[in-house]
Structure 1
Amino acid sequence: MTEQTGQDARRPANDGPRAAVRNRAALVAAAREIFAEHGLEAPLSAIARRAGVGQGVLYRHFPDRAAAVAAVLEENVRQIERAAETGAMAFPDVLGVLTWHLIESSAFIGLLHTDRPAGRSDVRAYAVGLSGRVERALRRRLPGGDRLGAGQDLTLAVAMVSAAVTGPTREEREHRALAAWRLLGVEVGRVAPFEG
């Protein structure tokens, strides 16, 4: 009979694919937070630290900064689309989910409001494409006869609110976003991520 070393006995079980899914979700959440706090030039090592994983795990999921940015943007849009698809949420609540993502991902807003961000034309083009998906999802849920349904009013309203989402703290960004919706005369539900 062979004796196991103490180190082998303490080694955690390998979760395989489940760990990869968990790690990716943690990395996307950490990237959203780090980019919101420090901008898109924040060190990628800060994302790995915030997610509680090594840099090797980070680079396995996101080989470069553009991949991390794209992952956060994609997850934001997926949550907004899922919120819009559920019949259980009223339109103001869907706008609350959209507003949460605008506030939490404020570092990405600049990509949509500058003509040519240096070195980021590929990311900006990707962000613009995702904006189109958000608009289509919102239009599908827009109540008939809603004043935002005329022409490009919905697109313009979202752009105006996203441009207002500025400030050093989350609270200030939320205050400005809600003030912008209020000035536009648009009711917004609870500002929170989609939980569904």
Structure 2
Amino acid sequence: MTQHRASEEQRPANEGRKAAARNRAALITAAREIYSECGLDAPLSAIARRAGVGQGVLYRHFPDREAVATAVLEENVRQVEQAAAEGEMDLPRVLGVLTWHLTESAAFIGVLHADGAGSPASVPSYARALSERVERALRAHLPDGHRLAAAADDLMIAVAMVSGAVTGPTREQRERRARAAWRLLGVEVGPVRPFTG
């Protein structure tokens, strides 16, 4: 009886929702890293391992592979929107956040190409919606007369061109190529880093 009580006292308290939110955030971060290293076909077990949780925890938050990828994309877009909403952020800094996500998240690149230029019916509606949110966030910081505002779709064409240049086996190589693409387009980009609020 005494041993039973002692072991109960040593067990950590159940953190419930706090732990669930922490696990979900860890899974999204791990998925972004794993996808960047191995592509979208990476095993979900690798994501769970990187996040430091069991596969059961992963499936509790995300029922399938598509749900994991969608969560990563949603988080990428949310950070770009938050950066754009920040009072002290200008277009170069917001582009720096966008560029960080391009270099870190291969799946994000596909979403930004979801403008339906080829066949709108072939673009999933969630991808089109995420792309439109990124465009709105960037456009809010686009000064009148800026070179990316010359025509209605110039902004997202430039983003697509830069994202097409984001290749290479390391994040540093991908960032160097992205910065070079922005420079060739004559667009200033701020520090390439995530938005931390």
Same-fold status (TM-score > 0.5): yes
Aligned residues: 189
Q: Which residue of 2 aligns with 1:194?
A: 195
Kindly tell me: are residues 42 and 133 of structure 1, through their superposed partners in 2, closer, same or farther at Cα, counting changes over 3 Å?
same
Contact 1:97 1:193 in 2 (8 A): yes
Q: Which runs of 4+ in 1 moved over 4 A?
A: 110-115
Q: Which residue of 2 aligns with 1:143?
A: 143
Task: Give the secondary structure class of the aligned counterpart of 2:40.
Answer: coil
Separation of aligned partners in 2, 1:15 and 1:75:
23
Kindly tell me: are residues 189 and 99 of structure 1, through their superposed partners in 2, closer, same or farther at Cα, counting changes over 3 Å?
same
Contact 1:80 1:134 in 2 (8 A): yes
Kindly tell me: are residues 112 and 77 of structure 1, through their superposed partners in 2, closer, same or farther at Cα, counting changes over 3 Å?
closer
Contact 1:24 1:61 in 2 (8 A): yes
Contact 2:166 2:175 in 1 (8 A): yes
Contact 1:106 1:166 in 2 (8 A): no
Identical positions, percent: 70
Q: Which residue of 2 aligns with 1:46?
A: 46
So what's the TM-score if we normalise by structure 1?
0.90
Q: Deviations over 1:87-145 (max 9, x none)?
A: 11121000000000011002442466599xxxxx67x5422321111001110111222
Separation of aligned partners in 2, 1:7 and 1:44:
34
2:178 matches 1:171: no
So what's the TM-score if we normalise by structure 2?
0.90
Q: Which amino acid aligns with 1:50?
A: R
What is the CA RMSD across the aligned residues, in angstroms? Answer: 1.8
Task: Give the secondary structure class of the aligned counterpart of 2:101.
Answer: helix
Q: Deviations over 1:159-179 (max 9, x none)?
A: 100111111111110011000
Q: Which residue of 1 aligns with 2:92?
A: 92
* Structure 1: gaps spanning 5 or more residues: 116-120
Q: Which residue of 2 aligns with 1:3?
A: 2
Kindly tell me: are residues 93 and 112 of structure 1, through their superposed partners in 2, closer, same or farther at Cα, counting changes over 3 Å?
closer
Contact 2:111 2:131 in 1 (8 A): no
Q: Which residue of 2 aligns with 1:128?
A: 128
